[in-house]
């Protein structure tokens, strides 16, 4: 599973508009829910769940067939945890030729499920193999130097920067020093793209979870053993850099 998800990093793309879509079968919908339960969480003590609903049951209007609603308990780092698990789902969908889009501004009337709160949705539709990314390196991303300091790691540094993020803000910095990597949620002063100011930290904490998913997949693919420590991110609006994870090489 881990190798398959890693390989899908190079195929996946964000489908901002779905055109000429096919139909996702009932069997595939059941498989999505089943696979979700097998994905690794960032925090094992946080309960999460997904529901798959028709597109018309949400405010997302991008031509998709369904939306996957992600729910979670509200605990420390629940947003990072949803990003981490949800990105595994995103990559899995690509392996099934199901296009996806993290849709942050989408709303649903189903605001709670089994005692958990709605966090974010992913729009999905069946698309052709040729509609996926052909060359990941042509995607618009920050340079390695902008998101990474210290010694670079082959097949890690150049790949993790392609993690998707809200409005392509790429709110992360990784610092590789003294045998460990520290990952920070980075907020450049005065920069937030088109996101509402009060939503930047919300979505960027989900983004950090997505980035950590890419980091884990890349390190595992390179057979680099590590211990990972996660730090509570209390949504400090004043900080430029907030430590979110530390990877110690074994």
Residue-wise pLDDT tens digits, 222-247:
999 999 999 999 776 668 999 999 99
* Beta-bridge partner residues of 158: none
How confident is the model at residue 237, as a pLDDT?
64
In percent, the amount of the chain with pLDDT more than 90 equals 88
**Residues contacting residue 67 through CB under 8 Å, at least 6 positions apart:** 52, 53, 54, 55, 57, 58, 60, 103, 106, 108, 121, 122, 123, 124
183-211: per-residue pLDDT in tens? 999 987 765 566 677 788 999 999 999 99
Read off φ and ψ for residue 182, nearest 5 degrees: -105, 130
> Residue 209: enclosing H or E segment and its boundaries?
helix 200-221
Residue ranges matching CATH 3.40.109.10 in the chain:
2-131
Q: Global pTM?
A: 0.95
How confident is the model at residue 164, as a pLDDT?
96
Read off φ and ψ for residue 65, nearest 5 degrees: -90, -40
Q: What would the CATH number be for the domain defined by 140-249?
A: 3.40.109.30
Superfamily grouping for domain 2-131: NADH Oxidase (3.40.109.10)
- Whole-number Å distance between alpha carbons of 129 and 151: 36
Q: Tell me how long the chain is.
A: 250
Residue ranges matching CATH 3.40.109.30 in the chain:
140-249
**Residues contacting residue 119 through CB under 8 Å, at least 6 positions apart:** 70, 71, 72, 78, 79, 82, 206
DSSP 132: S
**Are the C-beta atoms of 8 and 91 separated by less than 8 Å?**
yes
50-65: per-residue pLDDT in tens? 999 999 999 999 999 9
How confident is the model at residue 187, as a pLDDT?
87
């Amino acid at each position: 599973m881990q190798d398959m998800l890693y390989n899908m990093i190079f195929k996946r793309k964000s489908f901002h508009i779905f055109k000429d879509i096919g139909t996702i079968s009932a069997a595939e919908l059941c498989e999505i829910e089943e696979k979700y339960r097998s994905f690794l969480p960032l925090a094992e003590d946080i309960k999460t769940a997904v529901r798959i609903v028709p597109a018309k049951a949400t405010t997302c209007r991008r031509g998709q067939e369904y939306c996957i609603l992600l729910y979670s308990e509200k605990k420390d780092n629940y947003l990072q945890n949803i990003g981490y698990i949800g990105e595994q789902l995103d990559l899995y969908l690509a392996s099934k030729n199901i296009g996806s889009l993290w849709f942050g501004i989408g709303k649903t009337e189903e605001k709670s499920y089994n005692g958990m709160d709605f966090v974010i949705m992913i729009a999905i539709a069946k698309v052709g193999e040729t509609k996926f990314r052909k060359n990941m390196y042509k995607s618009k991303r920050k340079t390695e130097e902008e998101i990474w300091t210290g010694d670079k790691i082959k097949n890690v540094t150049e790949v993790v920067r392609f993690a998707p993020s809200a409005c392509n803000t790429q709110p992360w910095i990784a610092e590789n020093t003294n045998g460990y990597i520290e990952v920070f949620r980075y907020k450049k002063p005065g920069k937030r793209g088109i996101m509402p100011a009060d939503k930047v930290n919300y979505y960027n904490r989900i983004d950090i979870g997505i980035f950590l998913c890419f980091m884990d997949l890349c390190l595992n693919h390179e057979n680099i053993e590590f211990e990972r420590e996660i730090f509570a991110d209390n949504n400090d609006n004043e900080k430029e850099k907030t430590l979110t994870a530390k990877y110690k090489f074994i």
